């Protein structure tokens, strides 16, 4: 058994419905992860992040809805989670769990959101360039453009937040935790 | 002088060649309905096996009886004894006296001499090879020294215990065919050769009795050999716990071996698969109780059996059963404690652990079995309560009840049923049409219970405090609600007619009340009989439902009685303290004052001991007798 | 057919944002979707600790027991109710320390359940003490200021030695791979053990680095000698199914005996 990337990724580039199943899953998972994270922030009383992440989730969610509309009545292929052909372990537009911290700031969240939008854009761009299926080429190109627009919007938002400049990674965060962990059980 | 009383009585008549003894030393002969025989040997001498065969032979004769086995903690060797008390009516305790003591080996006798009530009235039969007679024993009335071992050897066997068996059985008037079948039953897994030789040795022992009889003669007006004799049972309390539980619907057992509870498990292991259940030997008691909780959560009535040390390990998870409202039956066959204590002997010292041993406010049910036979009833009731009320039920038995074999009439089915009880699932149904509240705050306190596999009922049972919807919650309101509900659902139990057994319908009106629980109940009943002969009337209350305690009933009985004595077999008077804790001085609920008598094991309580205690409380017996007659 | 997200109960996790246990939750929903698991026929059983909160977050039956005892509860349930899909879960402290004995015997007994240990090498719920899998010189707990100074427990090697018939290690950074392992583990007949490297961003922020160091090893074997050689040379960061060797499960099905009269043995 191979627990890694789905081996046969060729159909992603040749079968429109396989491509759309990936697109739908990509957006759906991105939205779900973002909502999950938003909820976690709410549980941890980080209201600013809760609101920001909820807003970001709606980008992906609306994109997922668009794809659904595009498919009309067609039933997309039903892949098991590990059967998708993602370039990495998870779908490209997803917040990796390791990128998240309860003290993360709006800049951190926006920066990560920017990264994942760009990663989704790269995913679609690669397909648009590589596929020989004109329909897929057209769709992938359009999706890449949308992701690029999302990325631009997030970029603008990031710039609009006039606080300290983006510190880069968790290592650079101020590690002072004025609200140390509890001991519930 | 020969004295014979009516049919159905077994009594002792002195053989013509025996020196007369003073009547005052003994009970009036016309009250003698039982006799007690002890067979003592070093471990491995087979006296316990002889006791088992003797009991079976007695049952074959239409007698009743009880057999107590007593061992040291060794696997082999050490000391062992079989004490058999026989009678023409049901015998449920060992009594106070020993008529005949048969000793194959005095070695190690001192280690349990306390448990063998030798008196001047005891006739001693000892083997020629038995060794030195201990110094400080009361001088027996008469001593016979016989060569049991020599007899066995002359017949090609080393088993003097079988010669002893034949000797005693013949004295009881047991026909050889009954001895024969008792031996065949006990040795059924041995070779034909072994069995035949054993029978030969036993018959040799019987012949020896003809030649050199025990200088006491039991006159048996044995009942007519009717069909009813064949319908008698021989069972010990541990087996009957298993039977009561399986008949009431227990279908899963997980446990860890521990003396003296292991034979509950061994009996059940042999039977449970035939009724579609499973028994798991777990890696420890922690696993055992948690496996049992898992099965109970799955809707399969489940129990475990252990003794004090094991229940101490289980107590955390017992709290989980209370909090998660998972049906669970835990049987504690008590032994001497604390720590490893005296594993092979009886004591009632786990009361506090059973009632108070859980952390947090954890209302649960504690029952005590009131006799060997009552182990059957109490296990059935426990199973019914646990499933009906979705809670923990602890059953207290003890080594005496658990490991004593008794001849008894066949027991009626208890008619408790776990599956029927589960129909009482609370005030609403689980049908998936609306949100399911596993821990709904109902009037009865019992909430609708969904079982895995049931659509629409999904919930996570939790040891964390939770709200009615089974979502973890540390809120004060939820905690109060759930605590109250778990307490309330046990309330109506005290209305059950099964809460206690009473020796009289009057329940203490105008006489003294003796309160006890567990194995002491049968001893107390015999004490009551003895007191009646002395003109003292008492009423005995054996409490089966220890928690929640039917306080109003007890208080009423105490108020009606002239005075109350609480007895128990532990050092601290654990139950008496518990009872006293309900005394709210100066309020309506105040309990009348009561006396207590408690002492630890391993020595068994005797009827005579209880009689002495009661007599001490009644200084002017004439006056009491007078008032009792009014 | 249900979507993964439909297997969530709606109860909000108490876990810290960034906790690896979210990934395990995610993987279970994905595995259930792939298995087309009827929610009412699955039971998640857990002990105590951060990870043991998981059953409440899944739309199935659950049992949240006491510390260290998830395995016995799960085994008792499965033996009593073989029709159910029973998954036990918990953390490294719950499973390997207080519940360590049950782990050995569950591997040995081979009841047909899955056991998922979310291993973050720390007691999170009690504020960051060293667990059996904490590195020897991890000095971040006040309770063990010099580090535990004890060699870490080797869950997979011990599972193998104890007789587990399915042994795998997953990583919270790869929920899809973990979902696949769960999918295989549920279908495996017998005791299936999955150790999940599940980062604790609060007490062990260094575990964020697992993203770079965890590596896939495609070494699955049915040969215990080969598996032992691999596990003893393992850096603890390999993921994959390492060992799979079906063997008879417990309880053994005996020929069904005719219903007997339970009382017969008492009659003379």
Q: What is the per-residue pLDDT across B289-336, written as a single tens digit (0 to 9) for each? A: 999 999 999 999 999 999 999 999 999 999 999 999 999 999 999 999
pLDDT at B219: 54
pLDDT (tens digit per residue) in C201-218: 889 989 999 999 999 998
Which residue of C64, C101, C102 is in closest CB contact with B461?
C64
Beta-carbon separation of B410 and C263 below 8 A:
yes
Residue B25 clears pLDDT 90, i.e. is over it: no
In terms of average pLDDT, the best of A115-124, B66-75, B589-598, B618-627 is: A115-124
Half-sphere exposure of B31 (CA within 13 A, CB side): 11
- Spatial neighbors of C142 by CB under 8 A, at least 6 apart, are none
For residue B19, the 8-state DSSP code is P
Beta-carbon separation of C201 and A98 below 8 A:
yes
- How large is the average pLDDT for residues B194-211? 96
Q: Which chain A residue lies closest to C123 (C-alpha atoms)?
A: A183
Q: Which residues of B touch C257 (CB under 8 A)?
A: 273-274
Residue C146 clears pLDDT 50, i.e. is over it: yes
User: Among residues C126, C107, C98, which one has the least CA distance to residue B290?
Assistant: C98
- What is the band of A6 on the pLDDT scale with cuts at 50, 70, 90? very low
CA–CA separation, B292 and B392 (whole Å) = 11
Beta-carbon separation of C258 and B464 below 8 A:
no
Q: Which chain A residue lies closest to C125 (C-alpha atoms)?
A: A183
Which residue of A1, A41, A86 is in closest CB contact with C17?
A41
Q: Which chain B residue lies closest to C259 (C-alpha atoms)?
A: B274
**Does domain B498-629 sit in CATH 3.40.50.920?**
yes
3-state secondary structure labels for all residues of chain C: CCCHHHHECCCCCCCCCCCCHHHHHHHHHHHHHHHCCCHHHEEEEECCCCHHHHHHHECCEEEECCCCCHHHHHHHHHHHCCCCEEEEEEEHHHHHHHCHHHHHHHHHHCECCEEEEEECCEECCCCCEECCCCCCCCCCCCCCCCCCCCCCCCHHHHHHHHCCCEEEEEECCCHHHHHHHHHHHHHCCCCEEEEEECCCCCCCHHHHHHHHHCEECCCCECCHHHHHHHHHHCCCCEEEEEEECCCCCECCCCCCCCCCCCCHHHEC
Distance from CA of B411 to the nearest CA of C (A): 9
B vs C: CB pairs below 8 A: 179
Task: Write down the ipTM of this complex.
Answer: 0.97
CA–CA separation, B157 and B151 (whole Å) = 9
| Ranges B13-17, B123-127, B204-208: which has the least confidence | B13-17
In terms of average pLDDT, the best of A51-60, A173-182, B457-466, C257-266 is: B457-466
CA–CA separation, B469 and B450 (whole Å) = 12
Distance from CA of C195 to the nearest CA of B (A): 21
Beta-carbon separation of A183 and C127 below 8 A:
yes
Q: Identify the three-state secondary structure at position B6.
A: coil
pLDDT (tens digit per residue) in B491-548: 999 999 999 999 876 655 679 999 999 999 999 999 999 999 999 999 999 999 999 9
Unique residue bearing structure tokens 């058994």: A1
Which residue of C27, C127, C184 is in closest CB contact with A1?
C184
Residue A131 has phi, psi (to 5 degrees) of -70, 150
Picking from C8, C15, C18 by the largest number of A CB atoms within 10 A of its own CB, the best residue to mutate is C18
State which fold the B234-421 domain adopts: Rossmann fold (3.40.50)
Beta-carbon separation of B298 and C60 below 8 A:
no
Q: Which residues of B touch C44 (CB under 8 A)?
A: 460
| Ranges A91-95, B461-465, B589-593, C194-198: which has the least confidence | B589-593
Picking from B236, B288, B291, B302 by the largest number of C CB atoms within 10 A of its own CB, the best residue to mutate is B291
pLDDT at A1: 38
Q: Which residues of A touch C205 (CB under 8 A)?
A: 101, 170
Beta-carbon separation of C56 and B283 below 8 A:
no
Average per-residue pLDDT for chain A: 84
pLDDT at C210: 95
CA–CA separation, B189 and A30 (whole Å) = 71
**Does domain B10-231 sit in CATH 3.40.50.800?**
no
Which residue of C60, C77, C79 is in closest CB contact with B458?
C60
- What is the band of B430 on the pLDDT scale with cuts at 50, 70, 90? low
Unique residue bearing structure tokens 């108490």: C14
Looking at the DSSP assignment, which residues form a beta bridge with residue B87?
A: B34, B64
- What is the band of C257 on the pLDDT scale with cuts at 50, 70, 90? low
pLDDT at B278: 96
**8 Å CB contact between A54 and A35:** yes
Beta-carbon separation of B286 and C68 below 8 A:
yes
Handedness of CA A104, C127, B322, B305 (dihedral sign): positive
Residue B34 clears pLDDT 90, i.e. is over it: no
Beta-carbon separation of A80 and C126 below 8 A:
no
Class of domain C39-245 as given by CATH: alpha beta
Residue C2 clears pLDDT 60, i.e. is over it: yes
Distance from CA of C206 to the nearest CA of B (A): 31
What are chain A's partners, defined as 3 or more CB pairs within 8 angstroms? C
Q: Which chain C residue lies closest to A84 (C-alpha atoms)?
A: C176
User: Among residues B148, B111, B113, B143, which one has the least CA distance to residue B129?
Assistant: B148
CA–CA separation, B111 and C172 (whole Å) = 63
Q: Which residues of C touch B316 (CB under 8 A)?
A: 66
Q: Identify the three-state secondary structure at position B280.
A: strand
The structural domains of chain C, with segments of one domain joined by +, span 39-245
Using CA atoms of B22, B26, B32, B35 in order, give the dihedral in degrees to the nearest 10.
-110
pTM (2 d.p.) = 0.92
**8 Å CB contact between B285 and B306:** yes
Which residue of C59, C74, C81 is in closest CB contact with B300?
C81
- How large is the average pLDDT for residues C34-58? 97
pLDDT at B113: 82
Q: Which residues of B touch C85 (CB under 8 A)?
A: none
Beta-carbon separation of B452 and C43 below 8 A:
yes
**8 Å CB contact between B445 and B488:** yes
Q: Which chain C residue lies closest to B456 (C-alpha atoms)?
A: C40
Beta-carbon separation of B283 and C105 below 8 A:
yes
State which fold the A10-79+89-161 domain adopts: Ferritin (1.20.1260)
Q: Which residues of C touch A81 (CB under 8 A)?
A: 4, 27, 30-31, 33-34, 175-176, 179-180
Average per-residue pLDDT for chain B: 88
Distance from CA of C58 to the nearest CA of A (A): 14
pLDDT at B229: 55
Beta-carbon separation of A81 and C12 below 8 A:
no
Q: Which chain B residue lies closest to C44 (C-alpha atoms)?
A: B460
Q: Which chain C residue lies closest to A95 (C-alpha atoms)?
A: C18
Beta-carbon separation of C64 and B232 below 8 A:
no
Instruction: Name the token pair of B390.
Output: 């979705």
CA–CA separation, B291 and B282 (whole Å) = 8
Cα–Cα distance list, B89 to B34, B406, B407, B533 (Å): 8, 12, 10, 18
**H/E element holding A126?**
helix A106-130
Picking from B52, B266, B276, B298 by the largest number of C CB atoms within 10 A of its own CB, the best residue to mutate is B298
Average per-residue pLDDT for chain C: 95
**8 Å CB contact between B372 and B92:** yes
Half-sphere exposure of A59 (CA within 13 A, CB side): 26
Instruction: Name the token pair of B39.
Output: 């067979």
Q: Identify the three-state secondary structure at position B610.
A: helix
CA–CA separation, B440 and B485 (whole Å) = 9
Q: Identify the three-state secondary structure at position B103.
A: strand
Which residue of C40, C55, C71 is in closest CB contact with B454?
C40
User: Among residues B83, B59, B68, which one has the least CA distance to residue B409?
Assistant: B59
Beta-carbon separation of B461 and C84 below 8 A:
no
Residue A118 clears pLDDT 50, i.e. is over it: yes
Q: Who wins on pLDDT, A178 or C39?
A: C39
| Ranges A173-177, B236-240, B268-272: which has the least confidence | A173-177
CA–CA separation, B27 and B530 (whole Å) = 9
Residue B17 clears pLDDT 50, i.e. is over it: no
3-state secondary structure labels for all residues of B456-503: CCCCEEECCCECCCCCECCCHHHHHHHHHHHHHCCHHHHHCHHHEEEC
Q: Within chain B, which residue ranges are assigned CATH 3.40.50.970?
A: 234-421
Beta-carbon separation of C75 and B457 below 8 A:
no
Residue B535 has phi, psi (to 5 degrees) of 85, 15
Beta-carbon separation of B298 and C66 below 8 A:
no
Q: Which residues of C touch A41 (CB under 8 A)?
A: 17
Q: Which residues of C touch B456 (CB under 8 A)?
A: 40
Q: What percent of chain B has pLDDT over 90?
A: 75
b/e map of A26-35 (b: 16 or more CB within 10 Å)? bbbbbbbbbb
Beta-carbon separation of B233 and C74 below 8 A:
no
CA–CA separation, B452 and B463 (whole Å) = 18
User: Among residues C74, C65, C44, C71, which one has the least CA distance to residue C56?
Assistant: C44
Diameter of chain A measured on Cα atoms: 58
The structural domains of chain A, with segments of one domain joined by +, span 10-79+89-161
CA–CA separation, B513 and B567 (whole Å) = 11
Residue A161 clears pLDDT 80, i.e. is over it: no
A vs C: CB pairs below 8 A: 128
Which residues of chain A approach chain C closer than 8 Å at the C-beta? 1-4, 32-33, 36-37, 39-44, 46, 78, 80-82, 84, 86, 89-90, 96-102, 104, 170, 181-185
User: Among residues C26, C22, C28, C62, which one has the least CA distance to residue C42?
Assistant: C62
């Amino acid at each position: 058994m191979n627990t890694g990337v789905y081996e046969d990724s060729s159909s992603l580039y040749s079968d429109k419905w396989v491509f759309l199943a990936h697109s739908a899953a990509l957006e759906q998972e991105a939205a779900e992860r973002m909502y999950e994270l938003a909820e976690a922030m709410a549980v941890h009383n980080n209201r600013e992040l809760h609101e920001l992440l909820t807003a970001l989730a709606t980008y992906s969610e609306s994109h997922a809805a668009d794809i659904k509309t595009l498919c009309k009545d067609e039933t997309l292929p039903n892949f098991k989670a590990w059967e998708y052909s993602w370039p990495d372990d998870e779908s490209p537009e997803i917040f990796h769990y390791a990128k998240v911290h309860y003290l993360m700031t709006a800049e951190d969240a926006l920066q990560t959101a920017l990264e994942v939008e760009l990663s989704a854009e790269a995913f679609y761009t690669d397909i648009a360039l590589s596929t020989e299926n004109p329909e897929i080429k057209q769709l992938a190109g359009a999706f890449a453009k949308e992701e690029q627009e999302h990325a631009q919007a997030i970029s603008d938002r990031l710039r609009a937040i006039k606080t300290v400049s983006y510190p880069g990674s968790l290592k650079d965060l101020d590690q002072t935790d004025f609200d140390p962990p509890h001991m519930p059980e | 002088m020969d004295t014979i009383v009516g049919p159905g009585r077994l009594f002792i008549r002195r053989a013509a060649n025996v020196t007369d003894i003073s009547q005052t030393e003994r009970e009036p002969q016309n009250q003698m309905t039982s006799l007690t025989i002890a067979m003592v040997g070093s471990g491995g001498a087979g006296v316990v096996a002889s006791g088992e065969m003797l009991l079976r032979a007695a049952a074959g004769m239409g007698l009743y009886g009880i057999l107590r086995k007593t061992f040291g903690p060794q696997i082999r060797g050490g000391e062992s004894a079989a004490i058999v008390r026989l009678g023409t009516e049901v015998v449920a305790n060992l009594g106070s006296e020993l008529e005949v003591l048969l000793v194959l080996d005095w070695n190690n006798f001192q280690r349990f001499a306390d448990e063998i009530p030798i008196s001047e009235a005891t006739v001693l039969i000892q083997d020629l090879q038995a060794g030195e007679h201990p110094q400080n024993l009361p001088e027996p009335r008469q001593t016979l020294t016989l060569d049991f071992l020599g007899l066995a050897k002359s017949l090609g066997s080393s088993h003097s215990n079988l010669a002893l068996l034949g000797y005693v059985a013949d004295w009881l008037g047991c026909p050889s065919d009954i001895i024969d079948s008792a031996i065949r039953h006990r040795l059924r897994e041995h070779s034909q050769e072994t069995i035949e030789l054993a029978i030969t040795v036993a018959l040799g022992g019987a012949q020896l009795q003809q030649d050199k009889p025990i200088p006491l003669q039991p006159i048996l007006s044995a009942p007519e050999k009717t069909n009813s004799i064949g319908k008698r049972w021989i069972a010990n309390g541990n087996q009957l716990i298993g039977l009561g539980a399986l008949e009431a619907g227990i279908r899963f057992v997980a446990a860890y071996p521990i003396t003296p509870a292991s034979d509950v498990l061994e009996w059940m292991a042999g039977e449970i698969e035939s009724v579609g259940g499973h028994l798991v030997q777990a890696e420890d008691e922690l696993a055992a109780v948690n496996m049992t909780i898992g099965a109970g959560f799955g809707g399969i009535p489940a129990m475990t059996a252990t003794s004090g040390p094991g229940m101490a390990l289980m107590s955390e998870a017992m709290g989980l059963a209370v909090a998660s409202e998972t049906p669970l039956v835990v049987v504690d066959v008590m032994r001497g404690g604390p720590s490893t204590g005296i594993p092979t002997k009886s004591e009632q010292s786990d009361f506090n652990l059973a009632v108070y041993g859980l952390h947090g406010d954890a209302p649960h049910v504690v029952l005590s079995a009131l006799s060997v036979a009552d182990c059957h009833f109490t296990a059935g009731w426990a199973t019914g309560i646990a499933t009906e009320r979705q809670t923990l039920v602890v059953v207290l038995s003890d080594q005496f009840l658990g490991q004593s074999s008794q001849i008894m009439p066949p027991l009626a089915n208890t008619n408790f049923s776990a599956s029927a009880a589960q129909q009482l699932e609370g005030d609403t149904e689980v049908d998936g049409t609306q949100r399911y509240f596993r821990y709904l705050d109902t009037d009865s306190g019992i909430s609708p219970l969904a079982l895995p596999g049931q659509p629409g009922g999904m919930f996570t049972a939790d040891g964390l405090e939770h709200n009615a919807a089974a979502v973890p919650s540390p809120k004060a309101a939820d905690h109060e609600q759930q605590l109250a509900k778990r307490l309330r659902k046990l309330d109506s139990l005290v209305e059950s007619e099964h809460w206690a057994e009473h020796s009289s319908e009057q329940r203490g009106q105008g006489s003294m009340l003796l309160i006890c629980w567990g194995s002491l109940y049968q001893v107390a009943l015999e004490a009551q009989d003895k007191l009646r002969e002395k003109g003292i009337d008492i009423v005995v209350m054996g409490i089966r439902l220890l928690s929640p305690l039917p306080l109003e009933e007890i208080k009423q009985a105490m108020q009606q009685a002239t005075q109350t004595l609480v007895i128990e077999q532990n050092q601290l008077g654990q139950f008496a303290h518990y009872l006293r804790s309900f005394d709210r001085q100066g309020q309506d609920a105040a309990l009348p004052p009561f006396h207590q008598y408690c002492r630890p094991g391993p020595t068994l309580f005797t009827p005579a001991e209880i009689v002495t205690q009661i007599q001490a409380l009644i200084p002017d017996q004439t006056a009491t007798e007078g008032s009792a007659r009014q | 057919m249900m979507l993964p997200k439909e297997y969530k109960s709606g109860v909000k996790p108490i876990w810290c944002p960034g906790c690896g246990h979210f990934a395990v939750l995610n993987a279970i929903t994905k595995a259930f979707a792939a298995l087309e698991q009827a929610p009412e026929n699955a039971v998640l059983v857990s002990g105590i600790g951060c990870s043991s909160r998981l059953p409440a977050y899944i739309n199935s039956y659950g049992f949240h027991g006491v510390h260290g005892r998830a395995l016995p509860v799960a085994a008792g349930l499965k033996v009593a109710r073989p029709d159910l899909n029973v998954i036990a879960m918990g953390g490294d402290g719950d499973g390997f320390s207080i519940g360590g004995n049950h782990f050995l015997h569950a591997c040995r007994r081979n009841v047909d359940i899955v056991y998922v240990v979310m291993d973050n090498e720390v007691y999170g719920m009690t504020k960051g003490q060293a667990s059996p899998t904490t590195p020897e010189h991890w000095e971040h707990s006040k309770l063990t200021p010099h580090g535990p100074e004890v060699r870490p427990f080797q869950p997979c090697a011990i599972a193998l030695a104890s007789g587990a018939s399915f042994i795998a290690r997953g990583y919270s950074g790869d929920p899809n791979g973990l979902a696949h392992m769960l999918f295989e583990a549920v279908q495996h007949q017998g005791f299936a053990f999955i150790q999940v490297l599940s980062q604790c961003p609060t007490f062990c922020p260094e575990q964020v680095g697992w993203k770079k160091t965890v590596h896939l090893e495609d070494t699955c074997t049915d040969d215990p000698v080969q598996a032992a050689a691999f596990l003893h040379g393992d850096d603890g960061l390999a993921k994959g199914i390492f060992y799979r060797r079906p063997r008879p499960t417990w309880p053994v099905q005996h020929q069904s005996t005719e219903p007997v009269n339970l009382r017969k043995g008492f009659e003379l």
